[in-house]
Structure 1
Amino acid sequence: MTTPAKVSIDLGTRSGGGTAVLDLEELLATRLLVQGNSGSGKSHLLRRLLEQSAPWVQQAVIDPEGDFVTLADRFGHVVVDAQRGEADLQRIAARVRQHRVSVVLNLEGLDSEQQMRAAAAFLGGLFDADRDMWYPLLVVVDEAQLFAPTAAGEVSDDARKVSLGAMTNLMCRGRKRGLAGVIATQRLAKLAKNVAAEASNFLMGRTFLDIDMARAADLLGMERRQAEMFRDLESGNFVALGPALARRPLPVRIGPVDTQARSTSPKLLPLPEPAAAEDAHDLIFTPGADEARTLVPRRTPTVAPTADVLAQLARSLPATPPLAPEPPPGLPAALSPEQRQAAIDAALHEILSESDAGFRTIAVLYQDFLVRCRIRRVGGDTLSLSAFRRRLAVAHAGINIAEAEADDSPWAEVLAMAAALPEDMQGVFLSLARAAFDHRPCPSDADVARAYGSRSPGRARRLLAYMEEHQVIVCRHDARGRRIVAIPGLAWETDPGDPNAPTAALPEAAPTD
């Protein structure tokens, strides 16, 4: 099928008559934000857009409720079940871009944090695809406030961080990679502003809260007194504005769709004939033949913030009596300061020796560290979370902490430079500095990504660019295209290394006594 110079999508009817059209090519360059309360017709609008544009552009739908899987029967979308590992989702996303297959990522059945991590992995795979695969791709994210929230809420900070980062990449940097973000949200106030602000096209539906009406009016360039109109919009009616839609706010009514969602709005149904009181009692309290005899009530867990949980774990360590001259009979003696430090170093070394340590979150590693310290009877306060992160980064780079913290050590300046970087980048920088100090070949993109806890070479390249922008490293290439990294001010420089080389063995963690 030959694509004409301009493809117009029929969204429905305009106010006063006529067809409401959307310029598909303009949409691919300028992105779209859809807002409306539950029942306003957001999902219906997204379905209409997906159905009308399916013949013209590849599509990927992030579907938290499994509503869009019905597109598979009519338009050939492949349904990707998100109940699999993050690495698998990244690889699947790369194949989606390579083979230009339209897909629906079905997140149904996962809890909020699992949905965020799965969506982030999938979007990361789409974003990190090789340049040769940067074909136009319409990425539709329903209930975007779940993946780019203004606050973490009941999910961990780590999950919010990776999910928000993926959504920001989609909306802020995706255009050059062929990714056109279409995000829908129930409430603008719950959606991160840096994600919403990147959209140039808007379809605003019914909403009731003053703060959401005011933000909708601001985005459409309307006066605050006109914001009341959003309360009066009927389901399926939206106000459109943007280069792909209309130059002035335009009321539109979304047209019909060919497919239906699996979930529908509740409808009133007649109740069954009333039963006698005794029969009704038996129906409720007598288990059926196919029911399990033991029913376990489902309880909603109370999720505490990660920092509070880790602090509680640290406080639970047995305190060592500071002045106890002799231990009680039958118990081992308290560790001396040297023994205590050696036990902490051994716990760190054991954690780093595990093959998957680089891909586990810092919160999980810290809990593992606390358990290992308890096994070694390290009493009292061990390391705070921030101190643990720093010590782990130093040990991961193979740096002797005692020598590094000496006043006359050149590593003291390196540690000060690392402290100016975000915490999750400090380990990468210290690994590069160690390679430069030892005159080893420059780590490859795969090695840098592994030190960061990722499998994405594209992310590794962005990390190096970030550190170079902040003047903590200098990158250059020799005549053969091999990369060299230097540490400014110290005359440390790595040997040339192939950036495309496979992952090498990590250096041993240095003893820290």
Structure 2
Amino acid sequence: MTIAVDMGVASGGGAAGLDLEELLATRLLVQGNSGSGKSHLLRRLLEQSAALVQQVVIDPEGDFVTLADKFGHLVVDAARTEAELTRIAGRVRQHRVSAVLNLEGLDVEQQMRCAAAFLGGLFDAERDHWYPALVVVDEAQLFAPAVAGEVSDEARKLSLGAMTNLMCRGRKRGLAGVIATQRLAKLAKNVAAEASNFLMGRTFLDIDMARAADLLGMERRQAEMFRDLARGHFVALGPALSRRPLPVVIGAVETQAQSSNPKLEPLPEVPQDVEALIFTATAEEMARPVRRAPKPVVTPTADLLAQLSRPREPEPQEAADAAPAMDDTEREARIDKVMHDVLEDPESGFRSVAVLYQDFLVRCRIQRIPGEPLALPAFRRRLAIGRAKVAEEVAAGEEWQRALALSERLPDDVQSVFLAVAQEAISGGQCPPDATLARIYGTHSVSRARRLLTYFEERNLIVVRTDFHGRRVVAFPDLGVETAPGDPDAADALSAA
């Protein structure tokens, strides 16, 4: 059965329907210059499908928060940590709540990081929570830019990766991406290419008109029509819309954005004392502190030339020996202390190795640790061992040294999970639950952490079995030890505390 969403009026006077079930499988791309009616189109789609499917809106301008009053959408203020947004997104999927992520008031880099964290939480939800959901991203060129801008490379990679996951791999997880952009040329091609449905609005630049015509299968000479489209008029194509390019006019909406188009209003009458109003400060203005930049100090050219021609004084010998003397034992102890401080940060498990490494180097400089800094491969190794939280008596044994040697067969990012299970087996502890393994691995998805045990077993490093009570036991044939039975579905002890 086709579930049609009424988008407005098609050419010829018929209804412009959108097949919602087909949209969930094929995704949608909307293009139009500022003022062409993109946000109006998205609002029409959201309003008409609000009672049919879960909706999640990434809203950079705060335009869609008004959906909460009439349709019950939950407004999520993005002024939170990235870890909080990821966890909130997971609960949004779990409870099938329609939500609007309000990014208004944040700068572009913060918006990219927050959107990436929220989309990551939606994408990493448990398999049992993979319910169908429309994920609407307005101004998608901000979150999936075609070229690097003024934001950091890390923020761009995080945001682009999250958008790529949404459009390329989101379908199997029930996520249907609906992205809107002002210009196709500004949007990353691998993100735009995954959409099978298109609604093209007014655009003026030749390159954008040509790309729109190519996507719709139109001849180049027909591209000029996109200049003549009125506000709210779009050309539709795709399995959820029409098999041939179809002009449509988007229908009316029930809610309004907080911001509106500027309208001309009559100017007020000019008061007689206009000069006093403008040039005379009020008492309130006088009370405010006035910050003035200091006047620049102008140095005469002769003095600058004299400074440049002056011979450089030799540096004092004490400067070379500014760092205090420290033997190797004390240096290693200091490095271990810094590594412990990095791992004690509750957010460290969900940060990339590159970010943690920079944090580690800064802390080493603060502690005045002499010598060459720890190289990145050595830091990765220490990070994996540190996340396992091995007890001192276990670390001193021969079995632990063999476990360390076995872990070197694995990639750096999974060694910590292997060592955490190994130290439980060596010490006779219970097999850690999936939630604990997920925290050590740095993910909120317990199913992803559970698959690591299958990966270790395929590498012939462990053997996993289940006892009669459904508890999990992990054996290490090369070490001759195994864990005590443990409940894989138990809560993480650290999170519970």
- The bucket for the TM-score relative to the shorter chain is 0.7 to 0.9
Give the drift of 1:459.
4.5
1: distance between equivalents of 2:351 and 2:126?
26
**What are the Cα deviations for residues 112-154 of structure 1, in whole angstroms up to 9, with x where unaligned?**
3333333334334444444554443222221222233345534
TM-score normalised by length of structure 1: 0.75
2: distance between equivalents of 1:184 and 1:426?
41
Is the 1:158–1:361 contact (alpha carbons within 8 Å) kept by the matching residues of 2?
no
Is the 1:185–1:191 contact (alpha carbons within 8 Å) kept by the matching residues of 2?
yes
The change in CA–CA distance for 1:357 and 1:177 in structure 2 (over 3 A counts) is closer
**2:334 aligned to which of 327, 340, 343:** 343
Give the drift of 1:74.
2.7
1:17 and 2:6 are equivalent in the alignment: no
**1:198 aligned to which of 186, 194, 201:** 194
Mean Cα deviation higher: 29-38 or 91-100: 91-100
**What are the Cα deviations for residues 422-479 of structure 1, in whole angstroms up to 9, with x where unaligned?**
xx555445545666777865443222221233344244346667x5699697775435
Is the 1:473–1:485 contact (alpha carbons within 8 Å) kept by the matching residues of 2?
no
Q: Which residue of 2 aligns with 1:460?
A: 449
**2:284 aligned to which of 263, 271, 289:** 289
1: distance between equivalents of 2:334 and 2:471?
41
**What are the Cα deviations for residues 227-280 of structure 1, in whole angstroms up to 9, with x where unaligned?**
44333333212121111101112121212222211112233444555689x955
Q: Rg larger in 1 or in 2?
A: 2
2: distance between equivalents of 1:492 and 1:268?
82
Q: Which residue of 2 aligns with 1:373?
A: 364
Mean Cα deviation higher: 238-247 or 15-24: 15-24
2: distance between equivalents of 1:224 and 1:430?
60
Q: Which residue of 1 aligns with 2:296?
A: none
TM-score normalised by length of structure 2: 0.77
1:235 and 2:224 are equivalent in the alignment: no
Mean Cα deviation higher: 176-185 or 364-373: 364-373
In structure 1, give the amino acid aligned to 2:281: T
**2:57 aligned to which of 45, 52, 61:** 61
In structure 2, give the amino acid aligned to 1:446: A
Q: How does 1:270-349 map to 2 (within 5 A)?
A: 270-272=266-268, 279-280=274-275, 283=278, 286=281, 289=284, 293-295=288-290, 333-349=324-340
2: distance between equivalents of 1:470 and 1:291?
75
1: distance between equivalents of 2:371 and 2:14?
75
2: distance between equivalents of 1:487 and 1:161?
38
**What are the Cα deviations for residues 85-135 of structure 1, in whole angstroms up to 9, with x where unaligned?**
445444544444454443322221223333333333433444444455444
**1:383 aligned to which of 363, 374, 377:** 374
In structure 2, give the amino acid aligned to 1:57: V
The change in CA–CA distance for 1:279 and 1:342 in structure 2 (over 3 A counts) is same
Is the 2:404–2:419 contact (alpha carbons within 8 Å) kept by the matching residues of 1?
no
**1:46 aligned to which of 33, 39, 42:** 42
2: distance between equivalents of 1:97 and 1:333?
54
The change in CA–CA distance for 1:381 and 1:241 in structure 2 (over 3 A counts) is same
2: distance between equivalents of 1:332 and 1:218?
64
The change in CA–CA distance for 1:133 and 1:447 in structure 2 (over 3 A counts) is closer
Is the 1:58–1:101 contact (alpha carbons within 8 Å) kept by the matching residues of 2?
yes
Give the drift of 1:179.
2.8
1: distance between equivalents of 2:5 and 2:107?
35
1:500 and 2:495 are equivalent in the alignment: no
Q: How does 1:61-460 map to 2 (within 5 A)?
A: 61-151=57-147, 153-272=149-268, 279-280=274-275, 283=278, 286=281, 289=284, 293-295=288-290, 333-360=324-351, 362=353, 365-384=356-375, 387-397=378-388, 411=404, 414-415=407-408, 417-418=410-411, 425=414, 427-428=416-417, 431=420, 441-460=430-449
Aligned residue for 1:68, secondary structure, equals coil
2: distance between equivalents of 1:51 and 1:101?
15
In structure 2, give the amino acid aligned to 1:220: L
**What are the Cα deviations for residues 264-307 of structure 1, in whole angstroms up to 9, with x where unaligned?**
2233444555689x955862673562686125699xxxxxxxxx
1:478 and 2:478 are equivalent in the alignment: no
Q: Which residue of 2 aligns with 1:313?
A: none
- Listed as ranges, the gaps of 5+ residues in structure 2 are 294-314
1: distance between equivalents of 2:33 and 2:319?
68
Give the drift of 1:381.
3.6
Aligned residue for 1:139, secondary structure, equals strand
Give the drift of 1:44.
0.6
Give the drift of 1:47.
0.8
2: distance between equivalents of 1:285 and 1:434?
75
Mean Cα deviation higher: 236-245 or 224-233: 224-233
Q: Which residue of 2 aligns with 1:308?
A: none
- Listed as ranges, the gaps of 5+ residues in structure 1 are 299-320, 507-513
2: distance between equivalents of 1:382 and 1:292?
52
Is the 1:119–1:163 contact (alpha carbons within 8 Å) kept by the matching residues of 2?
yes
The change in CA–CA distance for 1:146 and 1:452 in structure 2 (over 3 A counts) is farther
**What are the Cα deviations for residues 303-323 of structure 1, in whole angstroms up to 9, with x where unaligned?**
xxxxxxxxxxxxxxxxxx9xx
Q: Which residue of 1 aligns with 2:297?
A: none
The change in CA–CA distance for 1:206 and 1:470 in structure 2 (over 3 A counts) is farther
Q: Which residue of 2 aligns with 1:510?
A: none
**In the comparison of the two structures, how many residue pairs are matched?**
464
Q: Which residue of 2 aligns with 1:314?
A: none
The change in CA–CA distance for 1:333 and 1:242 in structure 2 (over 3 A counts) is closer
1: distance between equivalents of 2:365 and 2:44?
58
